[in-house]
Every structure is written in structure tokens, then in C-alpha cells.
Chains A and B, each alone.
Chain A
Amino acid sequence: MSVLVNKDSKVIVQGFTGSEGSFHAGQMIEYGTNVVGGVTPGKGGQTHLDKPVFNTVAEAVKKTGADVSIIFVPPAFAADAIMEAAEAGIKVIVTITEGIPVKDMVIVKEYLKDKDCRMVGPNCPGVMTAGEAKVGIMPGFIFNPGRIGIISKSGTLTYEAVDQITKAGMGQSTAIGIGGDPIIGTSMKEAVELLMNDPETDGIVMIGEIGGQMEPDAARWIKEYGNGKPVVGFIAGETAPKGRTMGHAGAIVGGSDDTAQAKKAILRECGIHVVDSPADIGAKMAELIGVTA
């Protein structure tokens, strides 16, 4: 069953008929994800990729029973799309869109507070439960169904971890790309909590980067929780200069407490197995779990 999404998830795609939405919806369907339709305002009633298109999320939910939505809507309209999904009763909203203004996300964050839903992203590669559901843009072929959960702020670095886990003779339960923006729907701590409580996950890979306090917060929670499952950690950006944004809007060293060095030290204090080289993620987890490739 894993977390957030599985083979029973009924997924709709917001921004379904756009180029990004079309391409990735096609890939999701090919992977076996249960995509039940899509939403593009003004194109309701049409059929796209053999699935129905609706004008509103509410209508899509009513007609298909959708409970998961993935958002490919352009940045200027993405906040609106997220709130529409929440209002319509979608339980898991995965926002792929990159470049949403912070001002819009401040409002979204507030709006979602009293809604019964979880938002993942934005600016993330999505959520993937190996062998069951791909709700995102991660390449399906590197996954192998298994019992390692992966949490990451970054796209290709997630793939790197997934690939290493597979090559080291293990597999993944769910990979959660939480995104690299300053404001995100699901924090690293919340994602860790989901995987710690998942009976189908035995170990967790946690990949962070410079900027913010998400990784230390997650690490402290893990320690408090009693380090129930082995966690391998990596923090990217040890060599990043202070005060420069490194690609992700949130990846910027502001003070002495959000450098890679400071975060790694806290992670280690909290019992997380920190690797200095991202090339060692898979081997470290194999060692902890007792797997030999």
C-alpha cells in the first residue's frame, strides 16, 4: 500500500491538454497509473488520451471519484488550480509546476490549512509508488518495487538515489519529491513521518540541500521518534557560495545554520547515516539493511 498514492488511486491531471500535461499523463498511463481523466477549463466534454476532459475539478471528482490530482498548470495560474483541487475534495495534490510566485504560495499554504488534503510540491518531480502508481515525471524504468522510501528536494538527484537503490539489490516503496521552493506543501518532516509509519517501508533515504531548516527539523523528529528505521541522509551544496541561489529558489545559504555542513552535523547528531558523497547512497543503505547486491 505504501504512502500517498497506490494502484487504487484515481488520478486526474490538471493542465491535461497542455504539452507538459499531455506528455507526462501519457507516461503515467503507460506506467499503469490509474488516470481517470483530466481538467482543462473550456475543453470539458472532449476526450484526450482516451480519457474524459472536464471543465472543473469538482465535475471531475463527481464523475470519476478522483482522489489524487497532478498539476501541470503554468505558474501564473497554478495557485488557483491547487486551491480548486482542494476545494473539490481531492485528497492528494501533486504540483509539478516550477516558478510559482512566493506571494501566491503564501496564500495557498494558508488556504490549505483547514482543508482535508495533502499537497506535495510545487517544483517537484512528483510522487511514485514503485510498480503501482506514478504521479509525477520520474522515469519509471529505474524503479523496482521494494521497501526503501525516498524523500528529496530535487529531481535528478532523486533519480540518482532511486537508481542506486535498485542497483544495490533493493527496491523502492514510495519516492516523494517534496520540491525545492521556499514554500512547499509537504515538509521533509511530514514526508519522513509518512514513511516511518508505513509498514511497507524498512529504510528511508533523505536528500536535502542548502537553505531553510527542513532537514534539521526532520532529523530532530526522527530522533524523538526513536530512530525506528535506518535513515541515509545526503545534503547537496557543501561547495555552494553564500548568498547565491543555486537553481532551486529555496537553495540559498542565508546564515550559518543553513549550510550543508551545519545540516549534516545536526543530522549526524540525530542518528542519521550521512554520506558525504552522493555516490554512496545505495551502498550505505544496503549496508544498513543487510543486503548484498
Chain B
Amino acid sequence: MNLHEYQGKEILASYGVGVQRGIVATTPDEAVEAAKKLSEQTGTEWWVVKAQVHAGGRGKGGGVKLAKSLDDVRNIASEIIGMNLVTPQTSKEGKKVHQVLIAEDVYYPGESETSEIYMSVLLNRASGRNMIMYSTEGGMDIETVAEQTPHLIFTEEIDPKVGIQGFQARKIAFNLGLSGTAFKEMVKFVMNLYKAYDGIDASLFEINPVLKTSDDKILAVDAKVTLDDNGLFRHKDYAEMRDKREEDPIDVEAGEAGLNFVNLDGNVGCMVNGAGLAMATMDIIKMAGGNPANFLDVGGTADAKRVETAFRIILRDPKVEAILVNIFGGIVRCDRVAQGIVDAYKNIGDIKVPIIVRLQGTNAEEAKTIIDESGLEVHSAILLKEAADKVKELVG
């Protein structure tokens, strides 16, 4: 589950991590109020208005702007709230902005130069341990840094037996070229950042940039925080931070029906039991000359109700020209699934696209008979190859 920048910063701050302070606003009026309040609290004279959407690269799309007066705050907030923000990480249509974060200006001039640092915490899947990845090249896209100057990216792995140790945080601060107060602040920043990651069952922290201010404070200027969905049962308060507006509404509805669904751009819908087989089915559609319209795992119990919900969700996409159902019945009996499909089809009534049903496993032959004798516009198959050929016939 992804969090907004302001939510991530709230959590980080509660663990003692230094953050660029801010107040969230949903209207231009609220934005001005937030700006005034923020100046009282922090003394900031300028403000940064930041679109709160679940996508990176907001600045490039015009979703992050500096305001040097309260009028600026109002004008920029009016412009950003309600806009469809297009960034390199969103679709062409962009993401609608519902709220902005009014943040303090932390790039003020002072005794030393400011510098931007990159820092993330994530799982190293190869070792099964968490690691901190960091670089002096903050503020840039880390993938670009990895391509152009890979020697400027460092990693520090954390031993799960003892957690992060002081020497590791010091090593990071030294490698970042810090000294004096900034060094001490960075050590504290790193220690608390990792404790936050561990404490909230996160699966990714990406802080880009971490800023060394001109008066040697270390602050998280942005915060991309992803929580491990499997750990949410331990964190009801964070689970409530979920902003469903940021997710594809069809994905949300499918999730509530117990279906694992991802909306895609193609013309052939699919319904499959099991995630691996679902991905493989999408690949088959592509090889047959179509394009998958979705990923859909109906899970272990492909009963009539779920099948019907799945059909309804797939059919809502006007681009869908055909649907491939691919069920390998291990524990579930194919004849029952077939009956579920026939019932769902009749309940929905007006299905205009051809459906190919491939049922394999327990009672596959009986299942084929049920489909074939149903009188419906449904093509049946038992072998995966037959199903692929049928897709080709219909859309290839």
C-alpha cells in the first residue's frame, strides 16, 4: 500500500526523523490558511505547494511550485488542485490532484551550501535482508544515476539479529562526505529512518532528496513510503491512511470481491485461477495476436458468484473484444466452475463478446460437455494450446 508524501512524513516525524514540515490543504482557502499557520510555526517566508498524488516526478509535470507570497500560494493551489497531473510515472491522462501539501522552504541561504542526497530502504531479495541504499546524487532519478554513475550508489545491509548499528550510520554519513553538525544529524537521521522502516512493516522508503540545509540540518524533503500489505494487520492506524482515490476504481472493486485484478490496455480479457497461470495466460493472448486487457486471479474458489463479478468487471471495459477463461481445476472441480460460468452468463444476459473457456483438471470432460450443451456463445477447450488457437481465430 502506498502513502502520500504528507502521510509518510507524519510517520517519519513520529520516529524522530527530520522532515520538511508542511500542512495539507484541499482548497485554495485552506492552502492560504495552512501557509499562514506554517509561517507561525516555522518562520518560513516562502512556501512550496506540492501536489499529493501517488506518482513520482511531480515536479516535471508542474505539480510542485514555489510560492513567494500568500497570493502566490492561492494562485498555485487553485491551479494544482483539481488538475490532472501528468508525470513520467502516470498514464497519459494523468492523475487528478485532490490535495496539496503546503511545505516550508528549506533551501534558504546560510553559512554552508545546501546539498541533496538520495536515500532508500528496501529488501535485498538476494540476501533476504533489508538494506539502505544511498547516494550523493540526490534529487535525480536514481535509475539514471545507476546507469550513468553506478559508483556513486552505496548500499549498507542490516543484520536482522541486531538491527542497525551506529557504526553503519557513521559509515553512511562519512561516505556522503559530511562533517561536524551535519555528520551528527545524518547519523541520527539514518538510525531513526531505519527504525521507522522496521517499526511500520514498510516494504519501501525512498527519500529523494534528503537535504542538508545551509545550517546543517538533515531533512526528508520528499517521502515515498510503501507498506507491506501483509503486515497491515499489525497497523490498523496506517491501514486507514489508504487513499482509494489514487487507485484504479475497478481494481478497488475487484479487490473487495476477493479478486486480484490489474487493469491493462488490451482487447482480450482473461479470468484465471492462480497468479502464475494468470500471467502465463496474458502471455498466450499476446502470442495469439491479441493484447491482454487485464490480469485477473479468481483465487482458489472459482464459484458462480465470483465468476459473475469477474465477468461484470471485465465486460465494463469497452475495449474488450473477447474473454479467455483459463481454469486449472486441482482441488476445485471443473464441472462446478463450468456450471458457475453458465449461470453467470445467463444472469448477466447480454454478453456481446465471444468467450473461450478452457477448463482442465478434475472433471474437465464433464465441464466441456456442460459448456458445449449450454447453447451459449461460448467456445470450450481443454488443452492450453486449443485455447490459444481459439484466441487467434477470434482476434488474431
Mark A residues whose CB is within 8 Å of B: 27, 75-76, 99-103, 105-107, 109-110, 137-139, 141-142, 152-160, 163-164, 180, 182-183, 207, 209-210, 212-213, 217, 234, 236-241, 243-244, 246-251, 255, 260, 276-280
Contact = CB atoms under 8 A, between A and B. Distances in A.
B167 interface: no
A207 B89 CA distance: 30
Residue of A141, A183, A260, A278 with most chain B CB atoms under a 10 A cut-off: A278
Given A101-B230, A159-B330, A159-B361, A180 B275 contact: yes
Given A240-B282, A277-B388, A279-B284, A180 B276 contact: yes
Given A209-B276, A234-B280, A278-B284, A103 B331 contact: no
B228 A247 contact: no
Contacts of B329: 139
A152 B276 contact: yes
Contacts of B159: 110
A153 B125 CA distance: 15
B213 interface: no
B231 interface: yes
Given A159-B328, A241-B264, A102 B278 contact: no
What class of interface size applies to chain B in its complex with A? 35 or more
Contacts of B383: 279
Contacts of A239: 264, 266, 279, 282-283, 285-286, 291-292
B326 to A, nearest CB: 9
A202 B330 CA distance: 26
B277 A160 contact: yes
B362 A139 contact: yes
B292 A236 contact: no
A276 B361 CA distance: 23
Contact of B284 (A110, A159, A244, A277): A277
A153 to B, nearest CB: 6
Contact of A160 (B198, B228, B362, B384): B384
Residue of B228, B229, B262, B283 with most chain A CB atoms under a 10 A cut-off: B283
A152 B331 CA distance: 18
B171 interface: no
A156 B277 contact: yes
A250 B125 contact: yes
Interface secondary structure of B, over-half rule: mixed
A214 B161 CA distance: 25
21 contacts: A101-B228, A102-B123, A102-B203, A102-B231, A110-B129, A137-B330, A138-B330, A139-B362, A154-B275, A156-B328, A157-B274, A158-B276, A160-B277, A160-B384, A236-B276, A236-B279, A239-B282, A244-B295, A251-B279, A276-B287, A278-B384
A281 to B, nearest CB: 9
Nearest to A106: B160
Contacts of A238: 282-283, 286
Contacts of B110: none
Contact of B279 (A99, A103, A240): A240
Given A100-B230, A239-B283, A240-B282, 10 more contacts: A139-B361, A156-B273, A156-B277, A159-B330, A160-B384, A237-B282, A246-B279, A247-B260, A278-B283, A280-B385
Contacts of A102: 123, 201, 203, 228, 230-231
Contacts of B89: 243
B310 to A, nearest CB: 14
Contacts of A159: 328, 330, 361
Contacts of A27: 331
Residue of A139, A154, A239, A280 with most chain B CB atoms under a 10 A cut-off: A239
Interface string B193-236: 00000100101000000000000000000000000111101100
B297 interface: yes
Interface string B355-376: 0000011100000000000000
B128 interface: yes
Interface string B231-260: 101100000000000000000000000001
Given A250-B125, A279-B383, A99 B230 contact: yes
A280 B389 CA distance: 13
Contacts of A182: 123, 125
Given A137-B330, A240-B295, A278-B284, A106 B278 contact: no
A279 B278 contact: no
Given A139-B331, A159-B361, A239-B285, A183 B128 contact: yes
B99 interface: no
A263 to B, nearest CB: 13
A159 B332 CA distance: 13
B276 A248 contact: yes
B231 A103 contact: yes
A180 to B, nearest CB: 6
Interface string B142-177: 010000000000000001110000000000000000
B273 A103 contact: no
Contacts of B231: 101-103
Nearest to A187: B126
Given A154-B276, A236-B279, A278-B284, A244 B262 contact: yes
